[in-house]
Amino acid sequence: MPLAIRSIGVHLVRLRTAEGLKTSIHDVITEQEYVLTRLKLSDGSEGFGEAPEATFITGETASSMIEAIERHLAPAVVGRDPFDLAGAHLAMDRALAAGNSAAKSAVDLAIYDALGKHLGQPVSRVLGGAPRGPIASSKAIGTGPLKEMVASARRQIAAGFGTVKIKTGADSTAELAAVKAIRAAGGPGLNIKLDANQGWTLPEALRFLDRARQFDIQMVEQPLAAADLKGHAELRRRIAIPVMLDESIHGPGDALRAIEAGACDYINIKLLKAGGLFPAQEVATVCAAGGVACQIGSLSTSIGTAAAIHLVHARPIMKFAEVNWPARLASDVGTGFSLVKGRADVAPTPGLGIKVDTRLLRGGRS
Ligand SMILES: [Mg+2]
């Protein structure tokens, strides 16, 4: 009998953060809901996927993801050949046409994890790459009172992070003072990125960045509204700081339009926006063709963050990574992810490399 996807179960896991994060678009995250998928192949191989509830990015709630997977996505892929990721995504896109990218990502990741276990190979190899060891990760500093922002940066620098990302777009006075103080604390060797999460208008961005540029800013992420490609192109013509787009870019078409519009120097890929590892590779390919280097970002538990690391190991265009989220959690869903001195890695075992604590799934739905 040919190998087939036999079943997909869905579980809701609610985890507290030990270290919250506030941005211009949402308040401090202290607790987050994650949707875990548990997929079985006909040979008994089992894979886990995951997606965080990030309503401010994809508009999906944990409940809507569970509904999407149980009623639409699981029936579309159960019975299919797990090697046929292209077919699985076509079937998912037929079942639920637009959006629902986080739900699709949770299914996609579970298929890759199961495939890797079936083959006895880490997912980076399944993707055409190989395990390459720890990768440097940046870490975000939430916007807030100046003192807290600087204290948070000092902790990160002491923990070994070579790149900090300062969240901006909420309170320019405190944020500018924080940029200055963090540059002084970190010295010239520290990489400083900014991320406004769409918080500025074009004149506000110009005003802030004109003052911030003396502090050697590596790049600014998503300064303007997601839909405003023209504004980002204009901003790039008027400032010397490179622009990275995040919320503007979900799928490969978004990346193509942004590159054609001259709206970005870099693109931030997140699996929950792209719809999983398969479509994220299509985004990466468009970026590589357009000469735009990528970052991988993650708001996931160790399952989704491990998947992000495998993508970096498989695609040389993924030059930057922000894959520290599991370290912000008070508890995680499994073991295998590591973050040492600002460098993240995953166990080179078959699949995504995460040993999931299945006790977490007892109370869930499957
Ligand atoms: Mg961002």
Ordered DSSP codes for 126-151: HTT------EE--EEE--S-HHHHHH
Q: How far is the CA of 243 from the centre of ligand 1 (A)?
A: 11
Residue 216 included in any domain? yes
Strand, helix or coil for residue 36: strand
CA of 29 to the centre of ligand 1 (A): 15
Write b or e for each residue in 33-58: b if 16 or more Cβ atoms lie within 10 A of its Cβ, otherwise e.
Answer: bbbbbbbbbeeebbbbbbbbbbeebb
Number of domains comprising the chain: 2
Q: Which of 120, 155, 186 is the last residue of a domain?
A: 120
Distance CA 271, CA 251 (A): 10
* Mean of pLDDT over the chain: 95
Host H or E run for residue 193: strand 191-195
**pLDDT for 242 beyond 50:** yes
Q: What are 82-132's pLDDT values in tens digits?
A: 999 999 999 999 999 878 999 999 999 999 999 999 999 999 999 999 999
Which residues constitute the domain of residue 25?
5-120
CATH of residue 216 = 3.20.20.120
User: Is pLDDT at 77 greater than 70 in this prediction?
Assistant: yes
For ligand 1, the distance from its centroid to the CA atom of residue 194, given in whole angstroms, is 9
Average pLDDT over residues 155-160: 94
How far is the centre of ligand 1, averaged over its atoms, from the C-alpha of 212 (Å)?
A: 18
- 366: pLDDT strictly greater than 90: no
Distance (angstroms) between ligand 1 centre and the Cα of 230 equals 19
Is 17 found in the same domain as 159? no
Sign of the four-CA dihedral 261, 267, 272, 278: positive
pLDDT of residue 280: 98
List all residues 6 or more positions away from 358 whose beta carbon is below 8 Å from its beta carbon: none
How many angstroms separate the alpha carbon of residue 83 from the centre of ligand 1?
32
| CA pair distance 283, 267, nearest whole angstrom | 9
On whether both 187 and 331 belong to a single domain, the answer is: yes
Name the residues around ion ligand 1, CB cutoff 5 A: 195, 221, 246
For residues 296 and 325, the answer to whether their CB atoms sit within 8 Å is no
- pLDDT tens digits for range 180-239: 999 999 999 999 999 999 999 999 999 999 999 999 999 999 999 999 999 999 999 999
If you measure from the C-alpha of residue 121 to the centroid of ligand 1, how many angstroms do you get, rounded to a whole number?
31
> Do residue 33 and residue 171 come from a single domain?
no
Q: Are residues 236 and 147 in the same domain?
A: yes
Residue 203 lies in a domain: yes
* Per-residue pLDDT, 143: 87
Q: What is the CATH number of the domain that holds 115?
A: 3.30.390.10
State how far the Cα of 303 lies from the Cα of 315, in Å rounded to an integer.
Answer: 19
Closest CA to 74 of 33, 103, 35, 116: 103
